[in-house]
Amino acid sequence: MSDALRIGIAGLGTVGAGLVRLLTENDDLIAARCGRRIEIAGVSARDRNKDRGIWPGRFDWFEDPRELAASGRIDVFVELIGGVGIAAEAVERALQSGKHVVTANKALIAARGAGLAAEAEKWNLALNFEAAAAGGIPIVKALREGLAGNVVSRVGGILNGTCNYILSQMEETGRSFADVLAEAQALGYAEADPTLDVGGGDTAHKLAILASLAFGTVPDMDGVYCQGIERISPVDIGFAREFGYRIKLLGIATMTARGLEARVHPAMIQLGTALADVMGVLNGVVTESSAAGSSVFEGRGAGAGPTASAVAADLIDIARGLRVPAFGVPSNLLRKAERAPLGEREGTFYMRFDVLDRPGVLATIASSLADKGVSIESMIQRGRAPDEKVAIVIITHEARESSVIGAIKAVEAAGAVVEPPCMIRMERL
């Protein structure tokens, strides 16, 4: 058997502790699969004395992750710190000192992936980040290797378990976003500051990474349109259901003739399709590719086990001597993608207008839509309550997004609504 692969783990939170457990428990199995052992040669974390149930005392301790990254005692630096500050410094330090890098850090890879990939290639080092998108689902490997014979035209799906849990709970219980979020926070399913999850930022990080792998483009976080789930109400979830749809927070990247269209927003997807049934904290990813067609991957996206599984797979790849460019092509071939303007996208749309039940209101809405060339596929106006608030819900035929937004603005400008209108894109995946 060859020499052990010596790894240093920076960050011993849920994922780091989970990784230590996994590598310890499956020690022999992993050695059989790699032809060599994976040995934890050093660790680093903020608090040496915290009880993590893994007794880190048996590993060499480094106060500063950057020191661990540069240490001659390791072959691979595993970065589980998160964020772009110290983590970025440590990863750069590791590459510069000839260490392979495995990271679960989506923010880092989305922001600096291309530069780090170039640095890694220069020294023939691995930069692996399976855990950065949809943890337990081996989607990075699927895009980089399993589908490598295909031209991929689209990748996306449900990439944030917290949002999916909240939307699933809202549907199940009929409760409001704020209510369910508070409960999710109490249960530890949502962070104290939930902005990155519910605002769509976390999904956007992951989408930027998946798009790079799919299309061979430089990760472009700033090019991702991003809208969260904060404004989704039980009313819309109910209407969606009536039309045979379910609301999910999706991240979708499509390579179009106009450039790369990358967007994160709540969307209605048809019941009975694969992603519609991905409930609770699960993630689901769909790829569209030239030869394989449509493929769906579902599984647990976060948490100690699934993330540790992804990190372990990256480590096993390194131990087996497998090297693939971080984004599937050498970094000098990564293209800067044009950004496709979202307004030019064609799609179907759900709209809800809360109006006072007065003569002429429906005519205003109908003519605003007609003026912009948006045609109506179905409409629901439930109940009649003169001079009280009623909801008019419309689903459009295929229409241009900018026209739909223009029509909605016109309805608002005409003073026909008593609340800001709600628009949700409908998606076929």
As annotated, the active-site residues are 206
**Cβ proximity to a second copy, 156 vs 421, nearer residue:** 156
**Cβ proximity to a second copy, 97 vs 150, nearer residue:** 150
Q: How far, in Å, CA of 330 to CA of 249, rounded?
A: 32
Q: Which residue has the tokens 């530069």?
A: 115
Assigned token pair, 294: 């449509």
State the minimum distance, in angstroms, from the CB of residue 282 to a second copy: 9
**Cβ proximity to a second copy, 146 vs 347, nearer residue:** 146
State the minimum distance, in angstroms, from the CB of residue 77 to a second copy: 18
291 binds a second copy (CB under 8 A): yes
209 binds a second copy (CB under 8 A): no
Query: Which of 8, 11, 16, 18 lies at the binding interface for a second copy (CB under 8 A)?
Result: 18
Query: Which of 10, 104, 315, 417 lies at the binding interface for a second copy (CB under 8 A)?
Result: 315
**Cβ proximity to a second copy, 99 vs 141, nearer residue:** 141
Stretch that binds a second copy, among 69-77, 241-249, 301-309, 416-424 (CB under 8 A): 301-309
Q: Residue type for 59, please?
A: F
Stretch that binds a second copy, among 67-75, 77-85, 288-296, 361-369 (CB under 8 A): 288-296
State the minimum distance, in angstroms, from the CB of residue 91 to a second copy: 21
Q: Which long-range contacts (CB under 8 A, 24 or more apart) does 185-192 make?
A: 189/161, 189/162, 189/165, 189/281, 190/162, 190/165, 190/166, 191/162
Helix (H) or strand (E) holding 7: strand 5-10
Binding mask 163-202 for a second copy (x = CB under 8 A): ----------------------------------------
Stretch that binds a second copy, among 226-234, 252-260, 326-334, 357-365 (CB under 8 A): 326-334
Residues 66-125 that bind a second copy (CB under 8 A): none
Q: How far, in Å, CA of 388 to CA of 324, rounded?
A: 63
Stretch that binds a second copy, among 62-70, 108-116, 134-142, 384-392 (CB under 8 A): 134-142
Contact between 42 and 74 under an 8 Å Cβ cutoff? The reply is yes
290 binds a second copy (CB under 8 A): yes
**Cβ proximity to a second copy, 142 vs 163, nearer residue:** 142
DSSP 257: T
Assigned token pair, 388: 């009280």
Strands 5-10 and 76-79: parallel
Label residues 164-186 b or e (16+ Cβ within 10 Å = b): bbbbbbbbeeebebeebbebbee
The angle, 0 to 180 degrees and rounded to 10, between the axes of the packed helices 234-243 and 161-173 is 80
DSSP state string for 322-369 = ----TTSS-GGG-B-PPBPPGGG-EEEEEEEEEEE--TTHHHHHHHHH
**Cβ proximity to a second copy, 215 vs 350, nearer residue:** 215
294 binds a second copy (CB under 8 A): yes
Binding mask 24-43 for a second copy (x = CB under 8 A): -xx--xx-xx-x--------
Assigned token pair, 88: 């970025």
State the minimum distance, in angstroms, from the CB of residue 315 to a second copy: 8
